[in-house]
Amino acid sequence: MGGAVSEVRAQYEAYPYPSRDPEEERKRLVTGSPSHVLEVDHFVFQGARDWSRPLRVLVAGGGTGDGLVQLAQQVADAGRVAEIVYLDLSTAARAIAEERARVRGLTGIRFVTGSLLDAADHGRFDYIDCCGVLHHLPDPAAGFRALLSALAPGGGMGFMVYAPYGRSGVYPLQEAFGALYEGLPPEARLRAAKKIVAELPEGHPFARNPNLGDHKDSDAGFYDLLLHSQDRAFDVAALVGMLEETGWHLSGFTIPALYDLARITDAPAHLGAVARMAVAEKLRGTIKTHVGYAVRALEARGPARGTNRALVPHLKGLRAGDLARAVAAGQSPGLGFGGMKARLTLPREAARLIAAVDGRRTLHEIARATATDPLAMGALWARIERELGDYGLMLYSSILRRG
């Protein structure tokens, strides 16, 4: 185990991942999932967190800082407070993450070099970010358990782990390169592997896989994708099994529609919820990562739902006015996620409710502002929630609500 850990550490010292230039923080904020602040409230706290209290966060295996910087900036922009511990084995990655935070003037962050297996040594946390790390551990179960031991009551975790089918072609190359280049330093491995990949035959599964692009973006991306010494992919069934085995409960995936078998074909009654998601994953064949949120199994709960009219809806990545105008005109905007293409199909009468979503009004207040009676509101909002929520485009959070 020690050899595997030292090899992983050597990789990230040589090629901190993902490749980031701290000066870019002056121009843009890298956003994504997990650890978008609206998702955290929606999936972990059912959209009803008390944001008058500081959010205690552990970024476990924080790399060059994408999740850290995103969450810290979004909390600060909302005028709220987060107390964050960043934890990673790589001093090179940590230096980049620290500089990104410094460029942005972010405060309330404590940077620590160390292993996530020691997470509980740093306190108890309301939210734990662990993106792209657990699948690189020699014993992933030990990682899941270590993070659970650092979780405060009522808290949860945002995770990303690799999925097998969308990464077709990756693992045979990893195994071949591991055998070929054992004992070589990272720089020599990279040079040799790049030459082979450039000459792969057209029919090689990796050469024909359109889902993968990290190897084209940077040396760090190439190394992480094809030369990693410790990499295990989880299909849905294995992931849910691992969560259950280690004391976690899946709150939800960030894009539930990807796992919805009913959106592909009729789902037989004999298949349970996990089996349906597993079949959907196989039929899609393009999911390369599983991104979602988990909570303690003893506190099992799902994401926020609009049946609670005191919740505040937000649109993520959409402008309410633009979407409302499109819906009012009878248009069906196109979407694309994880190799899946779809169209939003909403009735024209949904436009007035969508236009009233501003991240501050509760559903009760939206109903009043649009003069929508409770029965009509219930039926119409359920359709809006299914269409937008299942694609990760609508989330509930009270973070902007005052009083």
Q: How large a percentage of the chain has pLDDT more than 70? A: 98
Peptide bond into 34 cis (omega under 30): yes
The rounded distance, in Å, linking the Cα atoms of 267 and 55 is: 40
Half-sphere exposure of 195 (CA within 13 A, CB side): 5
User: Is the pLDDT reported for residue 135 higher than 50?
Assistant: yes
Angstrom distance (rounded) from CA 19 to CA 32: 16
Q: In DSSP terms, which residues pair with 113 in a beta bridge?
A: 88
Residue 54 has pLDDT above 80, yes or no: yes
193: which 2 tokens? 């592997």
- Predicted confidence band at 1 (pLDDT cuts at 50, 70, 90)? very low
Q: How many residues does the chain have?
A: 403
How confident is the model over 228-284, as pLDDT tens digits?
999 999 999 999 999 999 999 999 999 999 999 999 999 999 999 999 999 999 999
CB 56 within 8 A of CB 97: no
Contact 181, 193 (CB under 8 A): yes
pLDDT in tens, 288-339: 999 999 999 999 999 999 999 999 999 999 999 999 999 999 999 888 776 7
Return the half-sphere exposure (C-beta side, CA atoms, 13 A cut-off) of residue 312.
17
- Taking the C-alpha atoms of residue 144 and residue 134, their distance in angstroms, rounded to an integer, is 7
In whole angstroms, give the CA distance from residue 343 to residue 315.
16
Q: Maximum Cα–Cα distance for the chain, whole Å?
A: 70
In sequence order, which ranges of 285-373 are alpha helices (DSSP H)? 320-328, 351-355, 363-369
358: helix, strand or coil: coil
Residues of the chain with CATH 3.40.50.150: 2-165+231-299
CA separation for the pair 217, 284 (Å, rounded): 25
Check residue 333 and report its DSSP letter.
Answer: -
**∠ Cα 319 130 6 (to 5°):** 140
Count of CA atoms in the C-beta half-sphere (13 A) of 370 = 23
Q: Please tell me the predicted confidence (pLDDT) of residue 43.
A: 98
With a cut of 80, say whether residue 340 has pLDDT above it. no
User: Percentage helix, strand, coil, to 5, in the chain?
Assistant: 45, 15, 40
The answer on pLDDT for 3 being more than 60 is: no
Q: Could you read off the pLDDT of 138-184 as tens digits, one per residue?
A: 999 999 999 999 999 999 999 999 999 999 999 999 999 999 999 99
Residue 155, classified by CB atoms within 10 Å of its CB into exposed (0-12), middle (13-18) or buried (19+), is: buried
Is residue 42 classed exposed, middle or buried when 0-12, 13-18 and 19+ CB atoms within 10 A define those classes? Answer: buried
Task: List the structure tokens of 107.
Answer: 């405060």
In whole angstroms, give the CA distance from residue 42 to residue 302. Answer: 9
Q: What values do phi and psi take at 396, rounded to 5?
A: -110, 130
- CA 73 from centroid of its chain's CA atoms: 17
- Residue 91 confidence (pLDDT) above 90: yes
**What is the pTM for the complete model shown?**
0.96
Q: How many CB atoms lie within 10 A of CB 202?
A: 6
Q: Are strands 289-296 and 82-88 parallel, antiparallel or unpaired?
A: unpaired
180-190 per-residue burial string, b: 16 or more CB within 10 A, e: under 16 = ebeeeebeebb
Helix (H) or strand (E) holding 314: strand 313-315
With vertex at residue 79, the alpha carbon angle to CA 385 and CA 402, rounded to the nearest 5 degrees, is: 60
- Mean pLDDT (the chain) is 95
Per-residue model confidence (pLDDT) at position 7: 85
Distance, CA of 274 to CA of 286 (rounded, Å): 18
- The phi and psi torsions of 277 (rounded to 5 degrees) equal -65, -40
Residue 2 has pLDDT above 60, yes or no: no
Q: What is the DSSP string of 85-118?
A: EEEES-HHHHHHHHHHHHHHT--SEEEEES-GGG
2-165+231-299 — its CATH code? 3.40.50.150
Q: How many CB atoms are located within 10 Å of the residue 91 CB?
A: 12
